Amino acid sequence: MKYEERLQNVTVLGAAGKMGSGILLLTAVEMADLSLQPENKDKTFVLNAVDVSDEALHGLMGYLRTQVRKLAEKKTVALRAMYADRADLIENYHIIDEYIFDVMNIVRPVNGMEVAYNSNIIFEAIKEDPALKVKIFKQINENSNVEPWFFTNTSSIPITELDEKAELNGNVVGFHFYNPPAVQRLVELIRAKNTKDEVNDFALAYAKKLRKIIVASNDIAGFIGNGHFMRDALHGMLEAESMVDDFGGYVNSVYAINKVTQDFLVRPMGIFQLIDYVGVEVCSYIMSVMNPNLDNEDLHSTLLDKMISQGITGGQYSSGAQKDGFLKYEKGRPVAIWDVNTKKYVDIAGFSADVDAKLGAMPTSMKPWKAVNFSKKKDASLEAIFTEMNGMSGKGVEIAKVYNKRSNEIGRLLVDSKVAANDADVNTVMLTGFFHAYGPINNYLK
Amino acid sequence: MIPHKKVYMYGGYNTISLGTGRKEFNPKKARPGIEHYLKEAGQGVLKQIGGAKNVDDGVIGNFMAARFNNQANLPGFLPMVDEGLSMKYGTSVEGACGSGGLALQTGIRNILSGSDVTLSLGMEVQNTVKAIYGADILAGAGWYQKRKAGHAYFFPGQFSERAGAYFEKYGREKARKGMSMWYHNAITNARLDPTAQEYHNTLPNPYETCMAMEPNGRVFVDNLNFLDCSKVSDGASGIAICSEEGLKKMGVDKSDAVEVVSFVQSVRDITKDPTDLTELEAIKYAANKALEDAGISVHDLATAEIHDCFSIAGILSVEALGLAKPGEGCDYVYEGNTARDGVMPINTSGGLIGWGHPTGGTGVHQAVTIWQQLTGRAGDYQVNIPKDRPYGMTINMGGDDVTISAIVYKRG
């Protein structure tokens, strides 16, 4: 079966979720572009958007229309060529409107899974629950009228486990997009022990068409991205818990670690904000999926357990707005911190000056992540910042040094334990999947 | 043509040219509409000429309010500018980006047919749609039968072809140097005029930036980068066109006005492709006819306002004017001759690329700049007007070398 034939019938499971909607958008556009090629004009392309929530599917179609319009406006030059034979489509807006229709016309929003029985490709982006994934894969595979290939977006569950338990016979591969899939260029590709070559080849071809950066990860729970992030997050939480006395209270300490990880380490967001972004509950869940697969390590946070028991979950609203978690947000900016002891949010403004003073000075060459990361002189800026920091002392600088050392260790652990093939792959994942300005395996801080 | 009686211009006024680059521009926030711009420009002129009671008639130059703003019947806005214009003669004229020039030509003809004062306005408010849809609207300046085969960015596509032909015939490197210097002059001049769209531009070296930005046909057009193009602008300009009697009525001394020495308006068949992509033949005809009618040579001009919707159009106009031989316009510009301290300062308030290009307003803006320069009102962007070269000129173009206005001025 050729590439475009295989893409003639596809299903996205969990299509209205945060990851699913992005995967649906990218796949719908890729399928529409194929359908517009002269040799495919008489073929029908079907993309089933399966989700349990009708309400979410309703929102999904609106999201899709808005996003496809944006994409179409950006690639109108190419679209004019694709519609060159359509005499009735003259102006840009004729062409853009037609393209939006052509993409939307491929998508079938539905909340029953039976439609997947005719699909050659199943993209799965449902809850990170191994038993649920196995159950659904098995059901589709047993009832399918074709021999479907499964592309799972799991960020932590070993693919071999899914393959074996669902009896997929190697027709599965880990295809892990980063959030949001339409923007983030990284895809972690994970082969199970028995993943067939043709499945892997298709995954590579598809990723290439989507202009994604592919990093292959070994099939070890958490892979590269979460392999780093979860350990890094655990370190941050343990640091915060251990420094309560140093900073004069729990919320002060959380604030301090969040600030050091964002500002001193020149990262796009502090570690607690990142946990909130991914979701407090999701992080805890990912750790629990990874932990049984790890030797000599306990990847588990009692602080996350406490947060969840107090009903603080983080994550995002369907609008994309950030839900409150460790931090409380106003217009996307942290304004308060959840105190697990008093079960209340405490305003940052009330103690930040005191904690800032305790953290001490930042290097004079310091610039925010945004200014560094998108600059042509990024490497020189980082060199200057960290060289200066190496000659400094102060609480903030010391925490940053320990933090970077731990991040470094985690990176090397991923290579040593053969999750990643080499240092460069670890760094690529953190640079492109997490938007870090520099990789964890670095020589910046001594 | 040579006016059979004296015709003057006075009391020019420009709104700001609003669009990307201006600090007050925010695409996500609501912006003033055509009413605001017409009022500000119209009232700006009326204030200088003793009010609407001195005005006999009005004309509005505008290209596509019908699509950008869903508004036609523009003459009806003249009495909105000032109720003193109510029940007076009013009209609007359209010739694409040459609409402002037509508003000037119409004003001149009004005076020649017996009026004493015409209020000529030019206006366009284009930021109502995204650039990709604005390109559809602006494509109306070309022949619609050719739209289907044209580029998504239709006019940049047309002038990219001209640039490509020029590159091939005379060399890409030197052409791009001339075009980048054109951009450099546009920006450095615009920084001197607080109403200019590029007034806030802080590029340390606009020439270098433009040279470094390689044209990319995959995202835009093959032979022009974004800086080679004028931007999307909202703005209006106005000026009073009057007879000697009109000046008296307004209580204005001749020496504070400019006199129209000659005026030419000519059109080229919109359904025909240019004979030679490296030549602007209608501009060449109109500009040289205007100089000939005025009885002067191009070297008698102290300054000129040229229609640089694209840098390549600026270069080709320099050649059409006879300032440089074909293929040498780029060198002429690169060597600094058209800079504000060069032998022939061109577009001294930034031109279309620097000041902005509210399409229907541009022709009138050009006249305002020449009036300011020849009467010593140009403030920070004033250039030297040599005594032995007292003339100024405006060239306004609609479409791809289709609807041309060329006017020669001197101080009254």
Check if B130 contacts A (Cβ < 8 Å): yes
A239 and A212 fall within a common domain: no
> What CA–CA distance (Å, rounded) separates A421 from A434?
19
Quick one: A293 and A205 in the same domain? no
Q: What is the residue extent of each domain of chain B?
A: 8-130+232-256, 147-228+258-411
* CA-based nearest distance A61→chain B, Å: 23
Which residues from B are below 8 Å from A93, CB to CB? 133, 136
Kindly state whether residues A102 and A144 are assigned to the same domain. Answer: yes
The residue of chain A with its CA nearest to that of B131 is A73
Q: How far is A91 from chain B (nearest CA, A)?
A: 6
Closest residue, chain B, to A87 (C-alpha)? B148
Nearest-CB residue to A90 (from B132, B147, B220): B147
Q: Which two tokens stand for residue B214?
A: 């390689």
Residues A209 and A327 in one domain: no
- B133 with A93: Cβ contact below 8 A: yes
pLDDT in tens, A183-220: 889 999 999 999 999 999 999 999 999 999 999 999 99
Mutation for testing the B interface, residue in A77, A86, A95, A99 having most B CBs under 10 Å: A77
Establish how many alpha carbons lie within 13 A of residue B63's alpha carbon, considering only the half-sphere containing its beta carbon.
34
Name which of A73, A79, A91 is nearest B130 (Cβ-Cβ). A73
User: What is the average pLDDT value for chain A, to the nearest integer?
Assistant: 94
Residue-wise pLDDT for B36-65, tens only, equals 999 999 999 999 999 999 999 999 999 999
Name the token pair of B401. 């070398």
Task: State mean pLDDT over A380-396.
Answer: 93
The number of domains in chain A is 2
Name the interface residues of A facing B (CB cutoff 8 Å).
73, 76-77, 79-80, 87, 90-93, 96
- Residue A14 structural domain: 3-217
Beta bridge partners of A213: A186
CATH architecture of B147-228+258-411: 3-Layer(aba) Sandwich (3.40)
Q: Which of A149, A183, A217 is at the close of a domain?
A: A217
pLDDT tens for each residue of B305-333:
999 999 999 999 999 999 999 999 999 99
Query: Which chain B residues are closer than 8 Å to A73 by Cβ?
Result: 130, 132
Contact: B136, A76; criterion CB under 8 Å: no
Residue A441 lies in a domain: no
Cβ <8 Å between B152 and A87: no
Do the Cβ atoms of B151 and A80 come within 8 Å?
yes
E-strand ranges in B204-354 read: 234-242, 258-267, 301-305
Question: CA of B251 to nearest chain A CA: how many angstroms apart?
Answer: 51
Q: What is the 3-state secondary structure (H, E, C) of chain A?
A: CCHHHHCCEEEEECCCCHHHHHHHHHHHHHHHHHHCCHHHCCCCCEEEEECCCHHHHHHHHHHHHHHHHHHHHHCHHHHHHHCCCCCCCCCHHHHHHHHHHHHHCCEEEECCHHHHHHCCEEEECCCCCHHHHHHHHHHHHHHCCCCCEEEECCCCCCHHHHHHHHCCCCCEEEEEECCCCCCCCEEEEEECCCCCHHHHHHHHHHHHHCCCEEEEECCCCCCCHHHHHHHHHHHHHHHHHHCHHHHCCHHHHHHHHHHHHHHHCCCCCCHHHHHHHHCHHHHHHHHHHHHHHCCCCCCCCHHHHHHHHCCCCCCECCCCCECCCCEEEECCEEEEEEECCCCEEEEHHHCHHHHHHHHCCCCCCCCCHHHHHCCCCHHHHHHHHHHHHHCCCCHHHHHHHHHHHHHHHHHHHHHHCCCCCCHHHHHHHHHHHCCCCCCCCCCCCC
Quick check: B233 and B25 in contact, CB under 8 A? no
> Do residue A152 and residue A117 come from a single domain?
yes
Q: Both A209 and A290 in a single domain?
A: no
Q: Quote the pLDDT of residue B227.
A: 98
ipTM: 0.89
CA A402 from chain center: how many Å? Answer: 26
d(CA B1, CA B293): 6
The reported pTM is: 0.88
Res. A318 pLDDT band, cuts 50 70 90: low
Mean pLDDT of chain B: 97
CB B136 to CB A91 under 8 A?
A: yes
Nearest by CB: B135 against A79, A87, A92:
A92
Is there a shared CATH topology between the B8-130+232-256 domain and the B147-228+258-411 domain? Answer: yes
- Comparing alpha-carbon positions, the chain A residue that sits nearest to B218 is A77
Give chain A positions within 8 Å (CB) of B144. Answer: 90
Structure tokens at B32: 């003033």
The model's pLDDT over A114-170, given as tens digits with 9 standing for 90+, comes to 999 999 999 999 998 899 999 999 999 999 999 999 999 999 899 999 999 999 999
Of B136, B148, B218, the CB nearest to A93: B136
- The count of other CB atoms within 10 Å of the CB of residue B251 is 9
Q: What is the percentage of chain A residues whose pLDDT exceeds 90? A: 91
> Is A205 in the same domain as A62?
yes
Which band of pLDDT confidence, cut at 50, 70 and 90, is reported for residue B162? Answer: very high
- pLDDT score recorded for residue A141: 97
Both tokens of A58, joined, read 């309703």
Q: Which of B132, B133, B145, B155 to mutate to test the interface with A (most CBs of A within 10 A)?
A: B132
Same structural domain for residues A212 and A230? no
Just give the CATH number of B8-130+232-256: 3.40.47.10
Q: CB-based contacts of A303: which residues, under 8 Å, 6+ apart?
A: A237, A240, A241, A340
Q: Which residue of B has its CA nearest to A95?
A: B152
Does A294 share its domain with A330?
Answer: yes
Is A443 within a domain? no
**CB–CB contact A92 B152 (8 Å):** yes
Same domain for A229 and A302: yes
Closest CA to B401 of B169, B131, B126, B96: B96
From chain A, the residues in CB contact with B133 under 8 A are 92-93
pLDDT exceeds cutoff 90 at A295: no
Does residue A285 share a domain with residue A197?
no
Put simply, the chain B residues between 139 and 178 with a CB less than 8 A from any chain A CB are: 139, 144, 147-148, 151-153
Domain boundary pick from A161, A195, A217: A217
**From the CA of A77, how many Å to the nearest CA of chain B?**
5
Q: Is residue A132 part of a domain?
A: yes
Q: Which of B282, B326, B286, B278 is nearest to B304 (CA)?
A: B286
- Cβ separation of B136 and A87 shorter than 8 Å? no
The verdict on A320 and A424 lying in the same domain is yes
Distance from CA of A99 to the nearest CA of B (A): 14
Evaluate the omega torsion of the peptide bond into residue A180 and state whether it is cis, within 30 degrees of 0.
yes
- B219, A77: Cβ pair inside 8 Å? yes
How close B64 gets to chain A, by Cα (Å)? Answer: 16
Does residue B385 have a pLDDT over 70?
yes
* Predicted local distance difference test score (pLDDT) of residue B56: 98
Q: Examine the pLDDT at A273 and tell me if it is beyond 90.
A: yes
Minimum distance, in Å, between the CA of residue B290 and any CA atom of chain A: 37
Sorting pLDDT into bands at 50, 70 and 90, what band is A445? confident
A27: domain CATH number?
Answer: 3.40.50.720
CB distance A77–B132 less than 8 Å? Answer: no
